[in-house]
Structures are given as C-alpha cells and as structure tokens.
Amino acid sequence: MKTYLPSPESLKRKWHLVDADGVVLGRLATRVATLLRGKHKPEFTPHIDTGDGVIVINAAKVRLTGRKAQRDFVYRHSGYAGGLKTFSLGDMLKNKPEELVSDAVRGMLPKNSLGRTLIKHLRVYRGAEHPHFAQKPEKLEVGR
C-alpha cells in the first residue's frame, strides 16, 4: 500500500477568526499553532504545509496568569555590542500586544523553513477590527 501525500491542489485551506479577549496567552498560542500546522485535519503531514490561516483579534485583551507580567522578560538583540534590549511581558502587552501573541505562537512552531512559512499565515490585530473579510473567516472559540 502506498503512503498518501497531499498535493497543494488537493488541500482545502480555510481562515479562522480567533477572539483573544480574556483568553490565557499559552492556551491561545497552542490552539493557533495547531491550526497553522494543520494538525486538526486528517491529511496532516509533518513535513508539508497543510495548515489554515488564522486571524487573531483583541490581542491587547489576552490574559497573563500569575506574576508573569512582572517576572518574565522578552529579550531582543540587535547584533551589535551592547545591543540587548529587555522588555517585561506586561510592557509588551501594553505596548506591542501583536508582537507578544505572534512570538508566543512562533515559539510553538517548528524551528525550520516550514515554521517560517507557517507564521506568514498568521495575522494579529490589537483591536476587534480586521481587513480580512474577503477570506470569509470562520469564528473559532478558544478555551478561557
């Protein structure tokens, strides 16, 4: 029996709309990463992009549990000497919530060229409005 490999023509891609209002960041990121990867589909293949597109709205209203807002930090380095910048998760949530959500999702994707392709199917917005009405996204509930 031959192994089935999905072809790009046979894949049916959909768009999902996820409302992050009141959702814990880690739970949101795992659910979104699963959708981007395509693990919810029967034709999932680990080395092929079989996933869907995801639109996340209300990123500024995502929840951080415990004391993570003050205790945990995000680090970014410019590549130059003395170029390390440090931000607390609370500051990131206040100033750049889109980056906080996309970084959490990126950390749950493969660390190779497939992961870099998959993250391009993610759109994150601070508020409730998004410009992707032409994709006809299906509203998806994520656990609170």
Helices of type H across the chain:
25-37, 68-71, 89-95, 97-106, 113-118
Burial tier of 28 (Cβ tally within 10 Å: 0-12, 13-18, 19+): buried
* pLDDT surpassing 80 at residue 15: yes
Q: Give residue-wise pLDDT tens across range 68-87.
A: 999 999 999 999 999 999 99
pLDDT number for residue 6: 86
Res 10 pLDDT > 90: no
- The stretch 105-113 carries a mean pLDDT of 97
Please, which pLDDT band fits residue 11 given cuts at 50, 70 and 90?
Answer: confident
DSSP string, 37-51: HTTTSTT--TTS---
pLDDT of residue 143: 74
CATH architecture for the domain at 15-140: Alpha-Beta Complex (3.90)
| Range in 25-39, 70-84, 130-144 with the lowest mean pLDDT | 130-144
- The domain ranges of the chain are 15-140
